[in-house]
């Protein structure tokens, strides 16, 4: 099995979402499994200076910035296609996703690669048969509440890619009761049956 682990927290040290993702990886990884790791803070590009809609730019119109953007986009798409299980650790920042996660989604959304359009205009995700674990942390926002704009957006993006098998592990409202939040998330990780 290939596991794709994506960390998104702006904090390298002391990040709860990163620590929980590590615990989850230790729980589900078997000796022969391969792990592809990506820290979105190490290498991320924001889409800009497009010449037309979508990520389509004629080769002769591509600038050096465009080429770098497409090179990273190609890498991200390949990583998604090439894995069986995905772990995404993400804190809620000001009710929504970190900017780097939004940039990742923008670069990974490639027509005929991660999704396609049918003749009737409907969309079909091309990354089916993958399992995703979302580690979501927050200080005050309750996951899946009316003020949580991260979780429904991220689930929608993954569904858009064809990924429906999604398990959410939340350590939310840590500012209210840190120990309770962490214990709840750690118990959910502990209870995961990797043989299902």
Query: Which positions make up the binding site for FMN?
Result: 9, 15-17, 137-140
Q: How many CB atoms lie under 10 A from the CB of residue 162?
A: 17
Binding-site residues sit at: 9, 15-17, 137-140
The answer to whether residues 86 and 130 touch, using CB atoms and an 8 Å cutoff, is yes
Give the whole-angstrom CA distance, residue 151 versus residue 136: 8
Q: What DSSP line would sit under the chain, residue for residue?
A: -EEEEEE--S-SSS-HHHHHHHHHHHHH--TT-EEEEEETTTS-------SSSSS---GGG--HHHHHHHHHHHHHHHHHHT-SEEEEEEE-BTTB--HHHHHHHHHH--BTTTEEE-TTS-EEES--S-EEEEEEE-SSPPTTSTT--SHHHHHHHHHHTT--EEEEEEE--TTT-HHHHHHHHHHHHHT--TT-
Task: Give residue for tokens 């009316």.
Answer: 146
């Amino acid at each position: 099995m290939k596991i794709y682990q994506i960390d998104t927290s702006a904090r390298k040290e002391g990040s709860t979402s990163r620590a929980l993702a590590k615990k989850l990886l230790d729980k589900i990884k078997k000796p022969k499994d391969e792990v592809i790791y990506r820290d979105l803070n190490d290498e991320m590009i924001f889409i800009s200076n497009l010449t037309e809609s979508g990520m389509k730019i004629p080769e002769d119109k591509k600038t050096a910035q465009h080429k770098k953007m497409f090179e990273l986009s190609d890498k991200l798409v390949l990583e998604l296609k090439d894995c069986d299980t995905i772990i995404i650790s993400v804190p809620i920042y000001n009710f929504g996703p970190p900017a780097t996660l939004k940039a990742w989604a923008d670069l990974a959304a490639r027509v005929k690669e991660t999704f396609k359009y049918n003749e009737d205009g409907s969309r079909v995700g091309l990354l089916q048969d993958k399992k995703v674990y979302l580690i979501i942390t927050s200080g005050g926002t309750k996951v899946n509440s009316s003020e949580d704009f991260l979780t429904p957006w991220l689930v929608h993006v993954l569904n858009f890619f064809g990924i429906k098998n999604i398990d959410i592990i939340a350590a939310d409202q840590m500012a209210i009761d840190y120990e309770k939040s962490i214990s709840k998330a750690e118990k959910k990780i502990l209870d995961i049956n990797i043989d299902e």
